[in-house]
């Protein structure tokens, strides 16, 4: 489990196919030197821009993780070198400053705008139709592994396909501590719905009384 409070930014420095078959996954190497002095060991779970990955190799401040083709098809930002948000798994007794996250990305959204909003920045993200039902004003959402609060939800923003647009306020600290300064309209971002919202919707859909 994770909290969505990014501990460090890092960088994917290498992406190599696991085999020569078209459906093969990849092994990525991540420069995670910024996580020091938090210890990393083989088998640890680390959220890389919101995606829970297992450490399979470790050399100094660089760890390797295998990413399946299925994971690549459901996420963004793991198939090429670039900056990533990093968070080690939550331990019992740790402070829960964000919200509980599993690191199981539900889908990919698209940045609509990054605009000044007073001393902060408005981040607007277009969310696909199958995730729109989990988005609620003042609810929680994880964007690229960062726990955020939704300020506003506008339905029907994706050519009436049932998707929505969420508006989020980013304070300067959040931008400085994450990779959000690199976002621009058109960027693809990983979205994980709030766990509670997921179970509430599932219970409603399966309610035999309805």
Provide the whole-model pTM: 0.92
For 42-95, write each residue's pLDDT tens digit. Answer: 999 999 999 999 999 999 899 999 999 999 999 999 999 999 999 999 888 888
Reference 74, options 38, 103, 54; nearest CA is: 103
Percentage of the chain lying above the pLDDT 90 cut: 79
Question: Residue 201: enclosing H or E segment and its boundaries?
Answer: helix 195-205
CATH topology of domain 8-88: Elongation Factor Tu (Ef-tu); domain 3 (2.40.30)
Q: Give domain limits for the chain.
A: 8-88, 107-205
For 154-168, write each residue's pLDDT tens digit. Answer: 987 544 467 899 999
HEC states along 151-200? EEEEECCCCCCCCEEEEEEECHHHHHHCCHHHCCCCCEEEEEECHHHHHH
May I ask the CATH class of domain 107-205?
Answer: mainly beta
Mean pLDDT score of the chain: 92
Q: Do domains 8-88 and 107-205 have the same CATH topology?
A: yes
Per-residue burial over 41-50, b = 16 or more CB atoms within 10 Å of its CB, e = otherwise? eeebbbbbbb
Taking the C-alpha atoms of residue 63 and residue 59, their distance in angstroms, rounded to an integer, is: 6
């Amino acid at each position: 489990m994770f909290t969505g409070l990014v501990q460090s930014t890092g960088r994917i420095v290498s992406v190599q196919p696991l085999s020569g078959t078209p459906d093969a996954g990849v092994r990525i190497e991540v420069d995670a030197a910024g996580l020091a002095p938090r210890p990393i060991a083989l088998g640890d779970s680390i959220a890389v821009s919101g995606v829970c990955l297992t450490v399979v190799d470790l050399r100094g401040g660089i760890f390797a993780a295998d990413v399946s083709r299925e994971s690549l098809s459901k996420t963004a930002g793991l198939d090429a070198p670039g900056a990533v948000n990093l968070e080690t798994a939550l331990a019992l007794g740790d402070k829960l400053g964000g919200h509980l996250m599993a690191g199981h990305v539900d889908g990919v959204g698209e940045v609509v705008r990054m605009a000044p909003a007073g001393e902060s920045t408005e981040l607007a993200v277009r969310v696909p139709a199958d995730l729109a039902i989990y988005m609620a004003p003042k609810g929680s959402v994880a964007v690229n592994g960062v726990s955020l609060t939704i300020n506003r939800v506008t339905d029907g923003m994706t050519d009436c396909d049932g998707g929505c647009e969420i508006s989020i306020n980013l304070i300067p600290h959040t931008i400085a501590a994450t990779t959000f300064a690199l976002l621009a309209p058109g960027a693809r971002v990983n979205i994980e719905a709030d766990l509670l919202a997921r179970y509430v919707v599932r219970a409603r859909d399966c309610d035999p009384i309805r």
